[in-house]
């Protein structure tokens, strides 16, 4: 949903003759950090505590989403903060995904691992299709700020879920084989 809201917001802030360039720059702002941090993030997922990496990245993405919603609510008139927040969220996401993928084998037994990986992939793919569709519907029937506010619980909920799993003693320890 956030991606749809960002593109909508950028398209409103720039003149018609610069819209294509401005929207393309959103893509560059989002892919640049992934290219820069892709090798480092994989090493970090292997070398550091995956739960901690995910807690930090999800908390960072929550704060960045809140800052974007706050800036939008206060009448943002320039696109550069959107580019900066998008790039920062993308950088955090580039560390989050490898840690999340590497965490799955520690949560389930070997016999259930293929199903867990499939379920994780299905959830990710479903969110990548349903999220922008819901974002578009919210923009059409409410506003962009509504989309950004409704999207806030999504990254905010993950650190809480990780904390619950940690209290159960499941995160960070290999699953029973």
pLDDT of 2 > 50? The answer is yes
Instruction: Please give the pLDDT value at position 132.
Output: 79
Mean pLDDT of 122-148: 76
Contact 28, 132 (CB under 8 A): no
Contact 13, 76 (CB under 8 A): yes
Q: Please tell me the distance from the alpha carbon of residue 135 to that of residue 8, in angstroms, as a whole number.
A: 10
Instruction: Please give the pLDDT value at position 177.
Output: 47
Q: Which two tokens stand for residue 82?
A: 């959107």
Residues of the chain with pLDDT > 90: what percent?
A: 37
Give the domain ranges of the chain: 2-167
Mean pLDDT of 135-154: 66
Mean pLDDT of 113-124: 87
Residues of the chain with pLDDT > 70: what percent?
A: 80
Rounded to the nearest 10 degrees, the angle between the axes of helix 153-167 and helix 50-73 is 160
Contact 161, 107 (CB under 8 A): no
DSSP H helical segments within 48-152, as ranges? Answer: 50-73, 80-107, 113-141, 144-151
- Per-residue model confidence as pLDDT tens digits over 14-31: 999 999 999 999 999 999
């Amino acid at each position: 949903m956030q991606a749809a809201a960002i593109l909508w917001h950028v398209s409103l802030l720039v003149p018609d003759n610069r819209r294509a360039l401005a929207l393309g720059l959103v893509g560059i702002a989002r892919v640049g950090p992934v290219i820069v941090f892709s090798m480092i993030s994989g090493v970090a997922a292997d070398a550091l505590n995956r739960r901690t990496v995910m807690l930090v990245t999800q908390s960072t993405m929550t704060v960045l989403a809140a800052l974007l919603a706050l800036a939008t609510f206060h009448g943002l008139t320039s696109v550069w903060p959107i580019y900066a927040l998008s790039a920062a969220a993308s950088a955090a996401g580039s560390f989050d995904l490898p840690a999340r993928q590497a965490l799955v084998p520690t949560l389930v037994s070997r016999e259930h691992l293929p199903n867990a990986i499939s379920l994780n992939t299905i959830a990710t793919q479903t969110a990548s299709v349903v999220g922008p569709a819901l974002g578009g519907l919210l923009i059409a029937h409410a506003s962009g700020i509504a989309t950004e506010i409704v999207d806030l619980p999504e990254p905010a909920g993950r650190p809480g879920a990780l904390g619950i799993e940690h209290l159960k003693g499941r995160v960070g320890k290999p699953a029973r084989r």
